[in-house]
Chain A
Amino acid sequence: MRTRISTAYFFLAPALTAIFLFFFIPVIAAFLISFTDFDIYSLGNFSNARFIGLRNYLNLFQDPLFWQALKNTFYFVIVAGPLSIAVSLGAAMLLNSRLVKFKGIFRLTYFIPVVTTLVAVAIVWRFIYHPRFGILNYMLGFIGINPIDWLGNPDWAMPAIILMAVWKNFGYNMIIFIAGLQNIPEYLYEAAVVEGANAWQKFKNITIPMLAPTTLFVSIITMIGFFQLFAEPYVMTQGGPLNRTLSIVQYMYQEGFRWWNMGYSAAIAFILFFIIFLGTLIQFRVQKSSEI
């Protein structure tokens, strides 16, 4: 028995070493740094770093920009998360329907945005959203809606980012949902039809419960991904206007890698970690209680 365990460790050793060196050590280092004011001065000379206890964390709670970024990120996660999952599920059900032809082509089309480079996508969407020349305002003009400065108006910028992010990302979850749907045995639906169930009843009583594990996975992955919102506002709005699209990760990046306030930046990272951890915990709880 003993030899079997040590053999296992022997084979695990390379992976464990790598994880330890490149994951745990940096994480621990970052955690320690978050209690100092490590910055560009300290990079030149370590004696210029001060141990400041919880001051980074306390300062964060008084930093209006941090709260703004937190608010923006929650806005994004709470609106874009469910929306994205709903769109993915809807698309998956359409593609799984027996009535649809050329499934392969549709699946491919919906998946293309996921694999397209974000920078290219952002350029196209900036044109779509352009207040004077954009096709979105042009089309809205037909139904009598005045042009909106999508990315320049503080109230519309985040919805514009959400729309783009949902469009860009729903294809990935859609594929997972399709796999989930295909695992639901057909006889359940047949039995339901025999019992006289309508489409909505079938969806509510068969599809949703049978998809529960898939949905949990998808929602956790989506939530974690969306809390780390960065690239979309970074390329579209740089966090503006009036910081209304500044996300937590973007703020962390700015503080850390533009202004070299590593200590402060590390503190932001740990708060984000804590929030995501809490969010995942809640989702597990909800899932568990609904199973009973």
Chain B
Amino acid sequence: MGAEGEHIKALIPDFEKNYPGIKVKSQMIPWTAAQEKLITAYASGNLPDIFQLGNTWVPQFVALGAIENLNEFIKNSDQINQENYFKGIWDTNLIDSTIYGIPWYIDTRVLFYRTDILKEAGFSLPPKTWDELYEVSRRIKELFKGQEKYAIYLPTNEWAPFVIFGLQAHSTLLKDNNSFGNFSGQNFKRAFEFLIRFHKEKLAPLGISQVTNVYQAFADAYFSMYISGPWNVREFKKWMTGELADKWMTAPLPGPDVKTPGVSLAGGSSLVISEKSRNKDAAWQFCEYLSLPQVQIQFYRLVSDLPAVKAAWKDSTLQNDPYMKAFYQQFQYVVATPKITEWEQIAFSKIQQYAEMAARGAMTPDEALKSLDEDVNRILEKRRWLLSKNH
């Protein structure tokens, strides 16, 4: 998909040389149309032997019965092994004790921050706790008194921070075997109210229309902190040039208190094998090849996608990049979002919708979370029916 689909071509000749019996044909599809394309390909029986799936899509393809159980392949493999991967990432592919995908490249969200402005606000180190995050935000706002500038960018059309802080507050997000919403529960409410306060106190810009270009806005110090993923590192490097080049850094996310490390999301893409494929063994060999540390690092150099295999992180390209350190630390503390088909709809449509309601003051946080749970429960009705049917 996208850049990955374009650059994987460079890796194929080497594979075909090592496995003379196998020929690989690759097809690139754009990210924006990927899910739709793959699901329609499934419906018409045209899925490729092996393909990439965003790891939050794995549950949907399992529900479809479209992808192969890989437990046996892993048992017989002397190369692919759970120990080689970050625990939280591996876990995203595990559904009911079956592994359906092998992590290919990974991502998570960390804190991007302006070192110069945090220093000016009296913080020589990035915030480590929620309290510090709030405190530094207030001081940054104070610093730019009278100007239209903000401390942190928390757009309500990104569900991730809301879910991350919820997970940090030990919310389960859903309950009863993921068949009901648990957003109005104590824990999620604490996180939600914490984040909404940034909007209410104008520490974060409310609309998304003010920021047409996050990189420009970060360079202008329109905001000084942003929770985002590795895909933005290269872009920020491009925009933060000249004097600004050493004025920003990445850091692991702050946690709820000093003792608890701040967890983040286990993201990235997995390699999966089509259930209907007639070349499963060849597909698995290709999957093994793509999981070799040296191939993973080669792929990182081509596309900047972070390697899933831990051994690849020892490579100097990654070791010498100061922005990557925070990611490596964060990967030790990543967790999966609920592994159910409906999660995408819950996150993208419902969490964002009610976060916006609360941030704009159209609803109180209590009302927003209550309505969120009602909507989520309606979405999960089908899941409850299927669970009761299969018992």
| Contact across chains for B65 and A132 when beta carbons are under 8 A apart | no
| Contact across chains for A242 and B209 when beta carbons are under 8 A apart | no
Given A40-B39, A130-B209, A152-B207: A45 and B353 within 8 A (CB)? no
B36 within 8 A of partner (CB) = yes
A44 within 8 A of partner (CB) = yes
A90-134 CB contacts (< 8 Å) to partner B: 126-127, 129-132
Interface of B is mostly: helix
| Contact across chains for A44 and B64 when beta carbons are under 8 A apart | yes
A258 within 8 A of partner (CB) = yes
Residues of B close to A50: CB separation below 8 A: 385
| Contact across chains for A260 and B357 when beta carbons are under 8 A apart | no
- B360, closest chain A residue (CB): A242
A232 within 8 A of partner (CB) = no
B142 within 8 A of partner (CB) = no
Total contacts A-B at CB 8 Å:
71
Residues of A close to B207: CB separation below 8 A: 131, 149, 151-153, 241
A48 within 8 A of partner (CB) = yes
| Contact across chains for A39 and B43 when beta carbons are under 8 A apart | no
| Contact across chains for A40 and B157 when beta carbons are under 8 A apart | no
Number of chain B residues close to chain A: CB under 8 A? 31
> In the complex, how many angstroms separate the beta carbon of A97 from the nearest chain B beta carbon?
40
Contact of A242 among B212, B341, B362 (CB under 8 A): B362
Tell me, in angstroms, the Cα distance from A44 to B348 when the chains sit together. Answer: 23
One digit per residue, 1 when the CB lies within 8 angstroms of any chain B CB and 0 when it does not, for chain A 43-71 equals 11100101000000000000000000000
Interface of A is mostly: loop
Residues of A close to B210: CB separation below 8 A: 131-132, 149, 152
| Contact across chains for B356 and A240 when beta carbons are under 8 A apart | yes
One digit per residue, 1 when the CB lies within 8 angstroms of any chain A CB and 0 when it does not, for chain B 201-226 equals 00000111110100000000000000
B237 within 8 A of partner (CB) = no
Tell me, in angstroms, the Cα distance from A41 to B390 when the chains sit together. Answer: 13
**Chain A: interface residue count, which band?**
20 to 34
| Contact across chains for B209 and A149 when beta carbons are under 8 A apart | yes
Residues of B close to A242: CB separation below 8 A: 356-357, 360, 362
| Contact across chains for A151 and B209 when beta carbons are under 8 A apart | yes
| Contact across chains for B348 and A258 when beta carbons are under 8 A apart | yes
Tell me, in angstroms, the Cα distance from A61 to B353 when the chains sit together. Answer: 20
Residues on A facing B (Cβ under 8 Å): 37, 39-41, 43-45, 48, 50, 126-127, 129-132, 149-154, 237-238, 240-243, 254, 257-260
13 A-B residue pairs with CB within 8 Å: A41-B382, A43-B39, A151-B209, A152-B208, A152-B209, A240-B157, A240-B356, A242-B357, A243-B353, A254-B349, A257-B36, A258-B348, A258-B349
